[in-house]
Amino acid sequence: MNPPAFSLCVYCGSRAGNDPRFAEAARTVGRWIGESGGQLVYGGGRAGLMGEVAEATQAAGGRVIGVIPQTLVDREAANRSCDELHVVSTMHERKAMLAERADAFLALPGGIGTFEELFEAWTWYQLGYHDKPMGLLNVAGYYDGLLGFLQGTVDTGFMGAATARLLRVGTDAETLLDELIEGLRHSGGDNVPPRSVI
């Protein structure tokens, strides 16, 4: 079996939200990963947007790696159909493994867990712990308020414009995914081995 063309870490909600466009975007991302010969790396749950993106990836022929802490196995109903399901002891281990197994990152709508994962990986990028492309998919204006706030941090001098530009933002899933993988190719080729961030 050929190795996956890339590994994309997707951060997203363990809930589906109240707008059907959120789930549709997750399915679009999963289909794109699978049809592009890629591999999904994600939080290992089967509920909400997490479940949608994993199921769509596998349905389109892609591999799925899930990483979930033991304390969340029952609460989030671990996805036992993952090609690899890693049950770890802590959230720190989860995030480190997700980042280590990924070549690029994409955040979809989600709650505080998604925000925390996104901001930590973005901080690692800014500090030089990794150089993996990062994207934020702003589905149905979900992140409009956050993006306005982030621009305010640039305007008030708490974040540099260069740091802000490390996070690619888009409203069309396939366009943003193409940009992320193109950025990955520029950073080292089509089959870049995962680089440790810790």
Query: For the stretch 19-39, what's the b/e string if a residue is b when 16 or more beta carbons lie within 10 angstroms of its beta carbon?
Result: eeebbebbbbbbbbbbebbbb
> What pLDDT is stored for residue 76 in this prediction?
65
Task: Return the structure tokens found at 117.
Answer: 């994962």
Is pLDDT at 34 greater than 80 in this prediction?
Answer: yes
d(CA 19, CA 181): 28
Q: What is the mean pLDDT of the chain?
A: 92
The stretch 66-79 carries a mean pLDDT of 87
* C-beta separation of 49 from 29 below 8 A: no
Higher pLDDT, residue 185 or 37: 37
Query: For the segment 91-124, what is each residue's pLDDT rounded down to a tens digit?
Result: 999 999 999 999 999 999 999 999 999 999 999 9
Task: Please state the rounded mean pLDDT for residues 171-183.
Answer: 94
- Are β-strands 104-107 and 84-88 bridged in parallel, bridged antiparallel, or unpaired? unpaired
pLDDT at 1 over 60: yes
7-184 belongs to which CATH class?
alpha beta
How is 84-104 classified by DSSP, letter by letter?
EEEEESSHHHHHHHHHHH-SE
User: What pLDDT is stored for residue 192 in this prediction?
Assistant: 37
According to DSSP, the β-strands at 134-137 and 7-11 are unpaired
How far apart, in whole angstroms, are the C-alpha atoms of residue 191 and residue 198? 21
What pLDDT does residue 189 have? 41
DSSP string over the chain: -PPPS-EEEEE--SS--S-HHHHHHHHHHHHHHHHTT-EEEE--B-SHHHHHHHHHHHHTT-EEEEEEEHHHHTTTTB-TTSSEEEEESSHHHHHHHHHHH-SEEEE-S--HHHHHHHHHHHHHHHHTS----EEEE-GGGTTHHHHHHHHHHHHTTSS-HHHHHTEEEES-HHHHHHHHHHHHHHTT-TTPPP----
* Per-residue model confidence as pLDDT tens digits over 49-68: 999 999 999 999 999 999 99
180, 3, 26, 25: which is closest to 103 by C-alpha?
Answer: 180
